[in-house]
């Protein structure tokens, strides 16, 4: 409860200050825009690469950890392959997740960098902030430091989302054409976000 109050106080304080433009990007990566070549150019080859075929789509997951992880991050996971209105794009970033080191992304740092969240609440005991632009930030139980930051394509949250508990979007918004149903096994799904 104290963590939620701390987030609420910071959000109220942030209302008094000018906010920066919200973005669903970090480190030059933007889901639905950045290519596999762009990620390689920016961060080099991954520590680990996994290729899967899910529902007839080829997907790739890159993991950067150890000395290959970006500065201040324990692990970065990038999933490629997204269903767009004009078809499946195997070389575009679908979603990426950061597991920052303690002390890197405080609540105020996230608000300063991405603006006010579209929704904030408690998800399984962890304070969570959700941005329609595609950022989902989960904090430690004390509500001080981000434990994970997941970047997806734009999320349609709907009315009343900001007042209640943070939603946990698991799929990207449906493109203009029908998308295949979500895979039953864990892992990336075309057009979906990592849990």
Please tell me the distance from the alpha carbon of residue 119 to that of residue 33, in angstroms, as a whole number. Answer: 24
Please tell me the distance from the alpha carbon of residue 73 to that of residue 194, in angstroms, as a whole number. Answer: 18
Q: 37: buried, middle or exposed (CB in 10 Å: 19+, 13-18, 0-12)?
A: exposed
Q: 78: buried, middle or exposed (CB in 10 Å: 19+, 13-18, 0-12)?
A: buried
Question: What is the mean predicted confidence (pLDDT) over 64-77?
Answer: 96
- pTM attached to this predicted model: 0.70
- Tally the C-alpha atoms within 13 A of residue 182's C-alpha that lie toward its C-beta: 15
Q: Please tell me which residue, 164 or 149, carries the higher pLDDT value.
A: 149
Please tell me the distance from the alpha carbon of residue 188 to that of residue 41, in angstroms, as a whole number. Answer: 23
90 confidence band (pLDDT: 50, 70, 90): very high
Question: What is the mean predicted confidence (pLDDT) over 48-59?
Answer: 92
Question: What is the mean predicted confidence (pLDDT) over 92-117?
Answer: 94
Task: Yes or no: say if 191 and 177 are a contact pair by the CB < 8 Å rule.
Answer: no
Domain boundaries of the chain, sorted by first residue: 2-151
- What's the pLDDT score for residue 129? 95
Structure tokens at 125: 């005991």
- What's the pLDDT score for residue 29? 95
Please tell me the distance from the alpha carbon of residue 188 to that of residue 166, in angstroms, as a whole number. Answer: 22
Q: pLDDT tens-digit profile of 35-52?
A: 999 999 999 999 999 999
- What's the pLDDT score for residue 55? 84
- What's the pLDDT score for residue 180? 38
pLDDT over threshold 90, residue 176:
no
Sheet holding 126-130, edge to edge: 48-54, 57-65, 73-84, 87-100, 146-151, 135-139, 126-130, 119-123
The CATH class for the domain spanning 2-151 reads alpha beta
- What's the pLDDT score for residue 25? 85
DSSP 66: G
Q: Please tell me which residue, 162 or 186, carries the higher pLDDT value.
A: 162
pLDDT over threshold 70, residue 122:
yes
């Amino acid at each position: 409860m104290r963590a939620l109050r701390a987030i609420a106080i910071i959000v109220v304080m942030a209302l008094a200050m000018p906010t920066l433009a919200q973005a669903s990007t970090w480190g030059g990566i933007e889901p639905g825009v950045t290519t596999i070549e762009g990620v390689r150019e920016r961060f080099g080859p991954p520590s680990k690469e996994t290729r899967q075929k899910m529902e007839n789509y080829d997907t790739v997951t890159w993991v950067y950890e150890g000395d290959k992880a970006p500065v201040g991050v324990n692990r970065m996971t990038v999933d490629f392959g997204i269903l767009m209105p004009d078809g499946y794009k195997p070389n575009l970033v679908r979603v990426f997740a950061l597991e920052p080191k303690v002390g890197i992304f405080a609540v105020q740092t996230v608000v300063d960098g991405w603006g006010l969240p579209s929704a904030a609440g408690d998800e399984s005991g962890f304070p969570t902030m959700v941005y329609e632009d595609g950022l989902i930030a989960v904090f430690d139980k004390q509500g001080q430091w981000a434990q994970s930051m997941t970047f997806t394509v734009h999320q349609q949250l709907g009315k009343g989302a900001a007042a209640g508990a943070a939603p946990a979007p698991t799929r990207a918004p449906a493109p203009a054409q029908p998308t295949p149903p979500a895979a039953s096994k864990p892992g990336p799904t075309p057009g979906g976000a990592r849990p």
